[in-house]
């Protein structure tokens, strides 16, 4: 998936802070079935219960960190919604090969983490999508389309948004240009000189936010709770 490929960043599986452990203790029992069912599939092989539990706990640590980052968003949300968005970011980021912190950066820039956000040109949701584009994406992904209201559901919105970004990256063969095309549209970006497309204001905003999140994550690793 290019520069933003999902990978084991420094600290991605670091021990949770005290606050994160409290969050995990509170929410993990209810989410454990979802986490286990959502583990990446691979060749059939024996997997011990301890290994599954360890991986689920590592995922839980990552989700707890995302949950805390969501508290800095401008949009107000309850604990349950914030946890649901964090779980969605982790799951869909892993599914499509993007670092969840990069996905979070997109969401913060696009909608300030509001699942009901409406853009001035009609785009909707966490990772702003035009309904006409989303309808076609849903057809390709195999999600029955029931109207624009679907895009206010975090799971649908983030899945379709990252699927679209993946398609753009495959088309342009450049992750920076794919991000620009997500914002300005592939047709406009195709007519733009590639060096200029890679330096659009939107790309700079996403990267600035992503770098800040990475720096904060590195700082949390160096000073664990």
pLDDT by 10s per residue, the chain, length 225 = 444 544 334 334 344 444 444 444 444 444 444 444 444 444 445 555 665 566 666 777 888 889 999 988 877 888 899 999 999 999 999 999 999 999 999 999 999 999 999 999 999 999 999 999 999 999 999 999 999 999 999 999 999 999 999 999 999 999 999 999 999 999 999 999 999 999 999 999 999 999 999 998 887 656 555
User: Which residues are within 8 A (CB) of 212 and not within 5 positions of it... i.e. 6 or more apart?
Assistant: none
Q: Specify which residues 5 forms β-bridges with.
A: 98
Q: Are 95 and 83 in contact (CB under 8 A)?
A: no
Residue 157 has which token pair? Answer: 């919105």
For residue 101, the number of C-alpha atoms closer than 13 Å in the C-beta half-sphere is: 24
Buried b (16+ CB within 10 A) or exposed e, 205-214: bbbebbeebb
Q: At 190, which CATH number? A: 1.10.530.10
Closest listed residue to residue 182, CA positions, set 128, 143, 136, 114:
128
| Max intra-chain CA distance, the chain | 53
Q: Domain containing 88: what range?
A: 2-222
Q: What share of the chain is helix, strand, coil (3-state, %, to 5)?
A: 65, 0, 30
64 burial (CB, 10 Å; 0-12 / 13-18 / 19+) is buried
- Total domain count, the chain: 1
pTM over 0.85: no
In the chain, which ranges are E strands?
Answer: none
């Amino acid at each position: 998936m290019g520069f933003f490929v999902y990978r084991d960043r420094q600290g991605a599986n670091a021990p949770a802070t005290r606050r994160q452990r409290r969050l995990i203790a509170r929410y993990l029992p209810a989410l454990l079935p979802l986490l286990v069912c959502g583990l990446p599939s691979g060749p059939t092989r024996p997997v011990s219960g301890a290994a599954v539990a360890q991986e689920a706990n590592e995922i839980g640590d990552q989700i707890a960190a995302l949950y805390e980052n969501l508290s800095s968003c401008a949009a107000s949300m309850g604990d349950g919604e914030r946890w649901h968005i964090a779980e969605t970011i982790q799951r869909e980021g892993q599914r499509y090969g993007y670092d969840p912190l990069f996905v979070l950066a997109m969401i913060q820039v696009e909608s300030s983490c509001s699942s009901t956000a409406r853009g001035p040109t009609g785009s909707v949701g966490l990772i702003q999508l035009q309904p006409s584009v989303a309808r076609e994406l849903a057809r390709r992904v195999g999600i029955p389309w029931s109207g624009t209201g679907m895009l206010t559901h975090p799971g649908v919105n983030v899945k379709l948004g990252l699927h679209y970004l993946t398609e753009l990256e495959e088309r342009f063969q450049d992750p920076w240009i794919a991000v620009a095309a997500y914002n300005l549209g592939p047709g406009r970006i195709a007519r733009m000189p590639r060096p200029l497309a890679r330096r659009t204001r939107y790309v700079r905003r996403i990267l600035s936010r992503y770098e800040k999140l990475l720096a904060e994550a590195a700082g949390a690793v160096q000073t664990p709770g």
